[in-house]
A and B are shown apart, each in its own frame.
Chain A
Amino acid sequence: MTPPYDPGDVVEVLRAPEPGGAGGAYRAFGETLRGLKTTMKRMTEKPVTVQYPEEKYPVYPRFRGRHKLHRFEDTGLEKCVGCSLCAAACPADCIRVVAAENQPEHRVSAGERYAAVYEINLSRCIFCGYCEVACPFDAITMGHDYELSDYDRSDLIFTKEMLLAEPLERTPLRREGE
Chain B
Amino acid sequence: MITFSIDGREVQSPENLMLVDAAKYGDVEIPVFCYEPKLGNPVGACRMCLVEIEGIPKLQTGCSTPVKDGMVVHTQNTRVHEAQEAVVEFLLINHPLDCPVCDKGGECPLQDISFGWGGGRSRFIEPKRHFQKPLELSPLIAIDRERCILCYRCVRYSQEVAEDYQLVLQERGAASYVATFDGHPYVAPFSGNIIELCPVGALTSRPYRFRARPWDIEGSGSVCTMCPGQCNVTFTVRDDRVLRVLQRDNAEVDDGWLCDRGRFAYQAIHVDERVTSPMVRGQDGQLVPVSWDRALSEAAAGLTAAGSAVGALAGSGTTNEEGFLVQRIVREALGSRDLDSQRAPVSRDALLAISDPALQATVPDLEFAHAVLVLDTEPVDDMAILDLRIRKGVRRNHVKLAIASARPSSLDANAAASVRFAPGAGPAFAAELVSAAKGEPSSDDARSIVALLREAGEDVVILASERVGVALAALADALGLRDRAGAGLLVVPSSANGRGLREVGFLPDAGPGLSPVAEPGRHAGQIAEAAATGDITALWLLGIDPLRDLPYRLRWEQALSRAATVIAHTNFLTEGIRDHATVVFPAEAYAEKDGTLTHPDGRLQRVRPAIGHSGAGRYGWQVLTDLGTRVGLHVPRVLTSGIALAQLAQAVPFYAGITQDEIGGRGIRWQERPAASAFPAPAPASVNVSPAPRVGPSAPASGLRLGTFRSIWASPEVEHSPALAFLRPRQKIEMAPSDADRLGLGDGQRVLVSNNGTQVSATVALRQAIPAGSVFLQDGLAEDSANVLTGSIVEVRRA
Contacts and interface: CB of A to CB of B under 8 A. Distances in A.
Interface centre among A82, A97, A99, A136 (most CB of B within 10 A): A99
B661 interface: no
Given A84-B213, A85-B100, A101-B209, 12 more contacts: A81-B101, A83-B213, A84-B216, A97-B216, A98-B212, A101-B210, A111-B100, A112-B101, A112-B134, A113-B101, A113-B210, A136-B99
B360 to A, nearest CB: 48
B185 interface: no
A83 B105 contact: yes
B215 to A, nearest CB: 5
Nearest to A90: B215
Interface in B192-228: 209-213, 215-216
A163 interface: no
A162 interface: no
Contacts of A84: 106, 212-213, 215-216
Contacts of A85: 100
A137 B100 contact: yes
B54 interface: no
Interface in A17-44: none
B483 interface: no
A81 B212 CA distance: 13
Contacts of A111: 98, 100-101
Contacts of A99: 210-211
Given A81-B100, A111-B98, A111-B100, A87 B213 contact: yes
Interface string A107-151: 000011100000000000000000000001100000000000000
Interface in B664-695: none
Interface string A79-99: 001111101100000000111
A113 B209 CA distance: 9
A83 B98 CA distance: 10
Contacts of A88: 106, 213, 215
B215 A100 contact: no
Nearest to A110: B101
Nearest to B105: A83
A82 B215 contact: no
Interface in B126-150: 134
Interface centre among B100, B212, B216 (most CB of A within 10 A): B100
B207 to A, nearest CB: 12
Contacts of A112: 101, 134, 210
The 9 closest A-B pairs by CB, nearest first: A83-B100, A99-B210, A84-B213, A111-B101, A113-B210, A112-B101, A88-B215, A136-B100, A113-B101
A101 B106 CA distance: 18
A87 B101 contact: no
A35 B216 CA distance: 64
A87 B99 CA distance: 15
Given A84-B216, A88-B106, A100 B210 contact: yes
Contacts of A100: 210
B217 to A, nearest CB: 11
Interface residues of B, number: 14
Contacts of B209: 101
Contacts, number: 40
Interface of A: 81-85, 87-88, 97-101, 111-113, 136-137
A137 B100 CA distance: 9
Nearest to B144: A112
Nearest to A85: B100
Classify the interface of chain B: helix, strand, loop or mixed: loop
A103 B216 CA distance: 24
Nearest to A116: B210
A176 to B, nearest CB: 36
Contacts of A113: 101, 210
14 contacts: A83-B99, A83-B100, A83-B101, A83-B105, A83-B213, A84-B212, A84-B213, A84-B215, A87-B216, A88-B106, A97-B213, A97-B216, A101-B210, A112-B101
Contacts of A98: 211-212
Nearest to A111: B101
A133 to B, nearest CB: 14
Nearest to B106: A88
Contacts of B212: 84, 98
A148 B98 CA distance: 35
A97 B99 CA distance: 16
Nearest to A136: B100
Nearest to B98: A111
B137 to A, nearest CB: 16
Contacts of B211: 98-99
B215 A87 contact: yes
B627 to A, nearest CB: 39
Given A87-B215, A88-B106, A88-B215, A82 B98 contact: no
B438 to A, nearest CB: 63
Contacts of B216: 84, 87, 97
A29 B116 CA distance: 79
Contacts of A97: 213, 216
Interface centre among B101, B105, B209 (most CB of A within 10 A): B101
Nearest to B206: A101
A150 B688 CA distance: 84
B493 to A, nearest CB: 41
Contacts of B101: 81, 83, 111-113
Nearest to B100: A83
A25 B167 CA distance: 107
Nearest to A99: B210
B390 to A, nearest CB: 38
A85 B101 CA distance: 10
A99 to B, nearest CB: 4
A20 B210 CA distance: 87
A97 B213 CA distance: 9
A112 B104 CA distance: 14
Interface string B41-69: 00000000000000000000000000000
A77 to B, nearest CB: 13
A82 B213 CA distance: 10
A24 B51 CA distance: 96
A111 B96 CA distance: 13
